[in-house]
Amino acid sequence: MSDPKPFDPGCRRCPRLVDFLEENRRRHPGYHCAPVDSFGDADACFLIVGLAPGLHGANATGRPFTGDHAGILLYETLHLHGWGSAPVSRSADDDLELRGCRITNAVRCVPPGNKPVGEEERNCAPFLAWELERLPEGGVILALGQVAHRAVLRVLGEKQKRYPFGHGRVHRLEGGKHLVDSYHCSRYNTQTRRLTPAMFHAVFEQVAVLLEEAAPAGR
């Protein structure tokens, strides 16, 4: 993996994604249709990692989990637990603020069928690495889904077998940080009840406990 670096709004590393963005720019001229930057507190101790921008969500609005169904439960939950100033994320230029929390994606450009390939995950890894390096000791990473879980471990140089994905599972990482897993808050998972609001809230309660336990020692 190349050196960690902050977000590059003009990144064109992935030919398939570049072509898909250009195709959707023609179809939806009012959409963002470009790499999507992270959103939230620059000094956060809590980093949420999703899969990739949704075609009619972040790819349209330019803010992670904003504009489609996946963000409804996420932003409601963040507000309920005190990390968000409002329960709804409407657009990239609304007044919503995240406190102590930051949201990013394993892949910054919308992929066809919402399925990035391995090369695209690897090309985006330096941007995720930059986010992970900023997370302080005692910080918590919440992986929404297996792709995000896999991307985090790959960036950290950890073996997947050592930290198997499981909803609600907590993994203690090297350096005093924790990786917490959740099913993705996609429409498919919430409508099939694979992920319920109660299940999702319980994960955020776990995160809050981990941060509270780490606070006296590290921050």
List pLDDT tens digits, range 123-164. Answer: 999 999 999 999 999 999 999 999 999 999 999 999 999 999
Q: Which of 183, 180, 36, 155 is nearest to 104 (CA)?
A: 36
Residue showing tokens 């350096």:
175
Res. 219: pLDDT tops 90: no
**pLDDT confidence tier of residue 51, bands split at 50, 70 and 90:** very high
End-to-end CA distance of the chain: 30
Q: Given this model, what pLDDT does residue 175 score?
A: 83
d(CA 2, CA 124): 10
Q: Is the pLDDT of residue 217 over 50?
A: no
Q: What are phi and psi of 211, to 5 degrees?
A: -70, -40
Q: What pTM was computed for the model?
A: 0.95
Q: Position of tokens 């932003």?
A: 75
Encode pLDDT of 73-123 as tens digits. 999 999 999 999 999 999 999 999 999 999 999 999 999 999 999 999 999
Strand partners, 140: 46, 178
Average pLDDT, the chain: 95
| Amino acid letter for position 79 | H
Q: Are the CB atoms for 79 and 87 separated by under 8 Å?
A: yes
pLDDT tens digits along 41-50: 999 999 999 9
Domain ranges of the chain: 15-218
Supply 170's token pair.
């907590």
Say yes or no: domain 15-218 is CATH 3.40.470.10.
Answer: yes
- CA–CA separation, 119 and 139 (whole Å): 28
Cβ(84)–Cβ(100) under 8 Å? Answer: no
